[in-house]
């Protein structure tokens, strides 16, 4: 608190004009480099293949020429609008009525439940 009073006495109203705060001071890659990195994985994601963060992390470390934590990669993916999409638990074309009928009439199903 005393620093604010001292700064105001010494500098007047300029004491309340703060410089830029925040930002990316210690980034490993520029935004363009990150886009290039993710471009190599875009075709896989468009085809519906499962992408592993460990593979993206290895490629990121090659670009940055140093080891990074997984959280760095997750933040980069978030910055570029990538999100985690989990596979569906059931097939979208499954017929629930047919499945329930099969469960009720199949002799093997009863043996498994017993």
Percent share of the chain, pLDDT over 70: 91
Mean model confidence pLDDT for the chain = 84
State the pTM of this model.
0.57
Q: Using CA atoms, how far apart are residues 21 and 74, in angstroms rounded to an integer?
A: 23
The answer to whether the beta carbons of residues 28 and 66 sit under 8 Å apart is: yes
Q: If pLDDT is split at 50, 70 and 90, which confidence band does 51 have?
A: confident
CA 8 – CA 48 distance, rounded (Å): 59
Q: Which of 76, 78, 82, 81 is nearest to 34 (CA)?
A: 76
Distance CA 76, CA 60 (A): 10
1, 19, 29 from 9: Cα distances, Å: 13, 19, 42
pLDDT computed for residue 45 by the predictor? 76
Dist. CA 80–CA 51, nearest whole Å? 15
Q: What is the pLDDT of residues 56-111, one digit of tens each?
A: 999 999 999 999 999 999 999 999 999 887 777 778 788 889 888 888 887 765 55
């Amino acid at each position: 608190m005393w620093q604010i009073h001292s700064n105001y006495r010494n500098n007047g109203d300029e004491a309340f004009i703060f410089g830029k705060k925040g930002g990316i001071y210690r980034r490993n890659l520029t935004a363009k480099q990150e886009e290039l990195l993710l471009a190599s994985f875009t075709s896989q994601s468009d085809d519906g293949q499962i992408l592993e963060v460990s593979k993206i992390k290895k490629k990121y470390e090659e670009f940055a020429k140093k080891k990074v934590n997984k959280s760095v990669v997750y933040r980069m993916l978030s910055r570029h609008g990538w999100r985690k999409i989990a596979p569906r638990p059931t097939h979208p074309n499954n017929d629930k009525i047919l499945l329930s009928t099969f469960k009720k009439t199949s002799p093997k199903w009863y043996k498994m439940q017993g």
